[in-house]
Structure 1
Amino acid sequence: MFNQILIPVDLTHKEHLERLRQAAQLLIDGVGSVTLLYVDPIMVHRDALMMELEESQFDEHRQEAQAQLQSLSESLQLENVTMNVVTREGVAHDQILEYASEISADAILMMASQPGVSSYFIGSTAERVVRHADCSVFVIR
């Protein structure tokens, strides 16, 4: 079915990773590649935070996020699958779409947040990715 799957990961909701792993195993076509992508929004608000945080704290934050993502990747244990991890900074839906295009992803597999009042006005990351992606998008609730 799919050979190149992109899985955006929210490090504050690691409990969703098992469901994403199960779905990825079903979608992967024999041998393939799965990329876990963490988009760090901290740099979007860097100017406001710069007064409070030093550059070394930003570096420490980046390294911690990369280490967590690598650990999650190692825990997935997908058969015949090459695992990759990538961290990017910026607005989540923009970075997901941009990176999916860069790697020519066949599919994006992501979790949807529970809808709330704010999603009627702002819209969710998953909704924006579904609307603008050039590949198949699977959203798990």
Structure 2
Amino acid sequence: MYTRILVPMALDHDISGHTLQVAKALCASNGEIIALHVYESPQGSVSVYLDEATVKEGFKQAHRMMQKKLEDLPDVRPEIVKGHTSRSIIDFADAKGIDCIVIGSHKPGLTDYFLGSTASRVVRHASCAVHVHRSS
């Protein structure tokens, strides 16, 4: 059983409900589950066309979506950070003393055939246990 479990959540995928169930099954009775969404700011040429207010509103909207997704799960603590997805998940886990990451994986592309690209990077670089839940 794990005492500090991190569940990365992509707000545009439906995998997170299943990964939260897996996290609950793996969590010790005195454990904590943290749901993390990494907000990636618009990059490259897209960022030229967006003013600061639009980017801030996008972050606020992501925060609201996270709250709504977890409203029926008061025992799961929501967190949202800005950054690159896989790197931010790994850095957050290291900084917060996470002992297990439960991450979902969607249908991968050819370069990451067995896991999705974010999941595969987390598996390769995380310093704690990682459980991957593959969506059906």
TM-score when normalising by structure 1: 0.85
For structure 2, which runs of at least 5 residues remain unmatched after alignment?
none
The residue number in structure 1 matching 2:12 is: 12
The residue number in structure 1 matching 2:28 is: 29
Q: Deviations along 1:86-118, whole A, 9 cap, x unmatched?
A: 212221110000000011001000101212224
Give the 3-state SS of the residue equivalent to 1:37 in structure 2. Answer: strand
Q: Distance in 2 between matches of 1:21 and 1:7?
A: 7
Give the 3-state SS of the residue equivalent to 1:12 in structure 2. Answer: coil
Paired residue type of 1:76 = L
User: How many residues matched?
Assistant: 132
Structure 1 residue 48 displacement after superposition: 2.2
Q: How does 1:51-130 map to 2 (within 5 A)?
A: 51-76=48-73, 81=75, 83-119=76-112, 124-130=117-123
For structure 1, which runs of at least 5 residues remain unmatched after alignment?
none
Q: Distance in 1 between matches of 2:16 and 2:110?
A: 26
Structure 1 residue 131 displacement after superposition: 0.9
> CA RMSD of the aligned region, Å?
1.7
Structure 1 residue 16 displacement after superposition: 1.6
Amino-acid identity (%)? 31
Q: Distance in 1 between matches of 2:79 and 2:60?
A: 12
Q: Distance in 1 between matches of 2:121 and 2:48?
A: 32
Q: Distance in 1 between matches of 2:23 and 2:35?
A: 11
TM-score when normalising by structure 2: 0.88
Give the 3-state SS of the residue equivalent to 1:95 in structure 2. Answer: helix
Structure 1 residue 133 displacement after superposition: 0.8
Q: Deviations along 1:50-84, whole A, 9 cap, x unmatched?
A: 3211111111101110111112222235xxx4x22
